Chain A
């Protein structure tokens, strides 16, 4: 397993991944950056609420799809699947290794996002009182919420050669999140709305008991349940697939 993981890490185009995980979060933070008159804890909270909406609504879920397609690219080029799977490695390990790398890069993206936000906040003079606990919890919750979506994307990317096709599917699921997230009735049930609900203090507005910024029901049923379904579906499809090309 570890060897397969190491190979995946070697195959990854780090310059490209590095560019994506810095540029995307960078743009989302900088677009909203303006020298504010307000300083202190409240100003930090408001700024965090604004940038997370931009970042987590569409960009973060869509990035998960682009990265999943990127991870499967070496194998889709010129019959790579056949070569890789002919080696004495188990198919499920190959798939799991790809998923672990995907989750790791998504975690790094969130870390970069948090880091860029704090630096930009300091540079634009938000002053003292960085709400590290809010930011930290929100980053972790966003990562957990995006994991099932990443599993779905790896599922389709492992079968589809085209970046465009898997991104088109991703867009179809992610665009409705704009409405789902606003609805207190349907929001908690729609998997693609979870990253923004979990990350943005503006979107959730959840009072009482919440785990990782979403209700326990959403966490266990929608996020964990969705993750299990997508992961098993992806694994079964991958293990049984016939890689002809």
Chain B
């Protein structure tokens, strides 16, 4: 079997390799039947519903600080939900990473897939792109959710700038975490360890400790702080490290490059049994 596989692979380059677009299509077919797509929608929907429940429970108190002019409508909405948003997107990244490669682990399709004339590195990069795309959809829906709550509670004109920032900044910042989780999930057949690493992430978001802000686990809460508009995200006595959006994006890009390259190289060189 393995002899036949390597023979096919050796013969492959001459026959021409599958185009990246074909890989994108193939991954789409694989994930259609899984929980990945529902999760992408249910995540932001769940966080938004949590916000709705909060407003139903103590809406008067929360909206009160808007009516008195103490807070803007945006601050009222984001004040409570930003922490859940950060945890949800970090945990979501771990879940998506695990589910996107678990398809291959469970049905042992790594071997079949790499027996075909397909570039391993490219198929890994396509999986990263898919996950990043799903996370982007989630983040955009989250911004829609915030806007929905603001309209429902009549919290003034929609702050388009803030909504845009809350859609893209936590997304950019979570990509390194996603890339790391994808690396772990792809390398290990047993998903217990990657997911355990994933559930540690919220603990980093909860403390404003001395861990460098540019580490993947801290980046998300840093980005959220910027998106919220500064003070709202920070409790009394805590200090902001104050990374600018550009710095966050740069740190994110660097991490992603490192993790995806490592993943692609390791996968390309690994012997698949």
Which residues of A come within 8 Å of B, CB atoms? 13, 16, 19-20, 23-24, 27-28, 31-32, 34, 50, 53-55, 57-59, 62-63, 66-67, 69-70, 73, 161-165, 167-168, 171-172, 175-176, 178-179, 183, 186
Contacts and interface: CB of A to CB of B under 8 A. Distances in A.
Interface in B36-79: 39, 42, 46-47, 50, 53-54, 57
A232 B35 CA distance: 27
B190 interface: yes
B95 A34 contact: no
A178 B99 contact: no
Contacts of A175: 46-47, 50, 84, 87-88, 91
Nearest to B106: A161
B106 A28 contact: no
A59 B35 contact: no
Contact of B35 (A34, A162, A186): A162
B35 A165 contact: yes
B267 to A, nearest CB: 20
A23 B193 CA distance: 11
Most buried by A among B50, B95, B191, B206: B206
A31 B95 contact: no
Contact of B195 (A28, A55, A58, A66): A66
B83 A164 contact: no
A163 B98 contact: yes
A16 B202 contact: no
A130 B50 CA distance: 39
B204 interface: yes
Interface stretch (B126-134, B157-165, B207-215, B249-257): B207-215
Given A16-B193, A171-B95, A172-B46, A62 B199 contact: yes
Contact of B204 (A19, A31, A167, A186): A31
A54 B195 contact: no
B200 interface: yes
B203 interface: yes
B102 interface: yes
B203 A58 contact: yes
B35 A16 contact: no
B26 to A, nearest CB: 20
B178 to A, nearest CB: 14
Contacts of A162: 35, 99, 102, 106
B35 A66 contact: no
B196 interface: yes
Given A164-B99, A175-B91, 11 more contacts: A16-B192, A27-B203, A31-B203, A31-B209, A59-B203, A63-B199, A69-B192, A162-B99, A168-B39, A175-B88, A179-B84
B80 interface: yes
A28 B199 CA distance: 11
10 contacts: A16-B190, A19-B193, A24-B200, A53-B206, A57-B206, A58-B199, A58-B202, A164-B195, A171-B91, A175-B91
B123 to A, nearest CB: 20
Given A171-B95, A175-B87, A27 B102 contact: no
Given A59-B200, A175-B87, A175-B88, A70 B192 contact: yes
Interface string B182-206: 0000000011110110011011101
A34 B98 contact: no
Interface string B144-188: 000000000000000000000000000000000000000000000
Nearest to A167: B195
A235 to B, nearest CB: 24
A54 B207 contact: yes
A55 B35 contact: no
